[in-house]
Every structure is written in structure tokens, then in C-alpha cells.
Amino acid sequence: MQLTPFCLLLSCLRVSPDRSQFFRYNSISLSCEDQLNSTSWKVKRKTPEGGVRPCGSGWGFVSSGSTCIIRSTYPTDTGVYWCESEDGEMSNGVNITITDRRVLLETPALPVSVGAAVTLHCKAETSSPNHTFNYYRDGQHIGSTPTGELSIRRASKTDEGLYECGITGGEESRGSWLAVDASRLPPPPAPSSAPPPAPSSAPSAASGWASVSRLMCHLVVGTPYLLSTVLLGLVYRDRKRARPAAERRGSNDVIMEIVV
């Protein structure tokens, strides 16, 4: 089943752990998350017989609010799960598979956004260092890995499809649909711890302050020399003016002596 590419505004079904395939006897937590923090939402599922039952009516138990817990899964728990309000509003649907095979493929339960990093995990019920895991998309072999991990650095619509994995010479997993939602943007990168760069006006302000400092320094150092020069010029001017007067007084004395 192809997953709905986005959650409704009012509620969204979250699966924990975040995957759509589980081994037998695993535990699953299903939660209805809504914007109004309402407890009127209930987790429901479509049974193999075709009926619809809410959590607590023959399967799972309500732990708190709108959270449903399946403590020990069985293949009969395979089906479509969703949240539904008292008014009949429905959230996104999630196809959960409880596999009875020895190989399991872990893919995100909900659609991933374009550009997001995604890692698929192929797991064997009995691990061995000699395992080689093969990956397939829409029936075509796309690669092999000894770790069981297939990483998609930046998801795009071309990565959407039905994925399967298997062990070389062994069993293969059931298929899981990977949905890529082009309407959702990837989360913003984490803020850098490095200090922000200085504003462009900072260098000019510092340069202006340095220029003022140099000007003040020149004024403090050069002012005494300027004053000395001015004073010496005034003294020299006064002496120059006083000299002709003295010479005139001396000549008058000489004339007076001759007349007498």
C-alpha cells in the first residue's frame, strides 16, 4: 500500500519504532498527534476479516490519551492503521507488516521529505558476519552491502518505490513502500557554533577611530612647538619695531649737542 504523502492538519498517526515492518513478538506504540491536544482521537485498524476495530477491542490496549500499545505482535496484526476522531475525521493511514520471515526490511513508516537523508536497514533474525545483503527496488537489484544498510543522501521522487532486501543464498524480506513527499521541505540545518561575522560597518568605524586618535596625538605633540614659534615671532617683531625708535632718539641727542 502506498502511504498517504502527508498528515492531515488535525491529527497524524505516529509509529514507534519508526518503521513499517516488525518481527513476530515485537512491541509497537501507535500515537495520535493533533494540533489541539485532544484526547478524542482513537487508533483504529482494518482487520484481516475486513472489519474495523479501535484499539482495546480485541487487539492492543490504550496506555494513555490517544496512544495504543501492541506488546507482542503476530502476523495477524498486519494491516492498515489510522487515527479517527469522534466526528469521523481520519488521519493518514500506515500499512504495518508483521513478518513471519527471517529477514526484515526497516523503512520509515511515514513519507520522507524531498532532500532528506534516509537509511534503510536489512536485518536477519539470526545475525552472522558472513551475511551479504542485497537490495531491490521495484524488482530490480540496486546494490549489495555487508552491513545491511542502504543510505540515500538526498531523497527524491525517483527514490520512491517498493523496496525489498535479502541475504545472498538465503531468504528475502517482504516489500515495503518508501514514499517521498515533494510538498515537504527537509528540516533546516542546525545553527553553527561559530561566532557570526562582524558587520561591514565595523572596519570603517575602527579605522575612523584610529584616525581621530592619530590626529589628537599630533595636536598634543605639535601644539607646544606651534606656540613657541608664534611667541618667538611676536618677540622678534617687537624688537624690530623698537630698534628704529632707539636710533631716532640717538640722532636727536647728537644734534642737540652740536647746537649747544
What CATH number does residue 175 fall under?
2.60.40.10
- Whether residue 140 is found in the same domain as residue 45: no
Question: Do 92 and 8 belong to one domain?
Answer: yes
Q: Are 94 and 132 contained in the same domain?
A: no
Instruction: Tell me the pLDDT tens digit for each residue of 41-85.
Output: 899 998 877 789 999 998 999 987 789 999 999 999 999 999 998
Cα separation, 193 vs 126, in Å, equals 43
Give the model's pLDDT for residue 238: 58
Residue where a domain terminates, one of 68, 100, 132: 100
Residue 192 located in a structural domain = no
Confidence at residue 250, expressed as pLDDT on a 0 to 100 scale = 46
User: 31-40, 150-159, 200-209 — which is least confidently predicted?
Assistant: 200-209
Residue 184 confidence (pLDDT): 61
Q: Residue 169: pLDDT band by 50, 70, 90 thresholds?
A: confident
How many beta carbons lie within 10 A of that of residue 179, not counting itself? 20
Q: Looking at the predicted structure, is the pLDDT value of residue 178 above 70?
A: yes
* 1, 71: one domain: yes
Residue 119 in domain: yes
Answer whether residue 1 shows pLDDT above 80. Answer: no
Give the pLDDT of residue 18: 94
Grid cell listed for 74: 503476530
Examine the fold and report which residue of 134, 154, 185 is the final residue of a domain before the chain moves on.
Answer: 185
Query: Does residue 90 sit in the same domain as residue 116?
Result: no
Mean pLDDT across 239-250: 52
Both 88 and 129 in one domain: the answer is: no
Write out the DSSP string of 171-215. Answer: -BPPPEEE-EETTSPPPPPPPPSSPPPPPTHHHHHHHHHHHHHHH
Note whether 21 and 42 are same-domain residues: yes
pLDDT in tens, 102-112: 999 999 999 99
In a shared domain, residues 115 and 93: no
Give the contacts of 114 (CB within 8 A, at least 6 positions apart).
155, 156, 157, 180, 181, 182, 184, 185, 186
Domain that holds residue 85: 1-100
Examine the domain organization and report whether 111 and 171 are in the same domain: yes
Reported as a single tens digit per residue, the pLDDT across 98-154 is 999 999 999 999 999 999 999 999 999 888 888 999 999 999 999 999 999 999 999
C-alpha closest to that of 94 among 180, 25, 183, 14: 14
- Name the residue with higher pLDDT: 171 or 221: 171
Report the pLDDT value the prediction gives residue 21, as an integer from 0 to 100.
96
Instruction: Give me the number of domains the chain comprises.
Output: 2
Select from 80, 100, 120 the last residue of a domain: 100
pLDDT-derived band at 259 (thresholds 50, 70, 90) equals very low
List, in order, residues 6 or more apart from 245 with CB less than 8 Å away.
none
> Residue 69 and residue 187: Cα distance in Å, rounded?
29
88 plus 113 within the same structural domain: no
Is 248 inside a domain boundary?
no
- Residues 115 and 129 reside in one and the same domain: yes
Is position 156 within any domain?
A: yes
Shared domain check, 53 and 37: yes
Beta bridge partners of 64: 67
pLDDT of residue 179: 94
76 inside domain: yes
Report yes or no on 81 lying in a domain.
Answer: yes
Judge whether residue 206 has pLDDT over 50: no
Neighbours of 177 (CB within 10 A): 15
Residue 257 pLDDT grade (very low, low, confident, very high; cuts 50, 70, 90): very low
Q: Does residue 213 sit within a domain?
A: no
Nearest to 53, CA basis, from 33, 74, 34, 77 = 77
The reply to whether 211 falls in a domain is: no
Indicate if the pLDDT at residue 252 is higher than 90. Answer: no
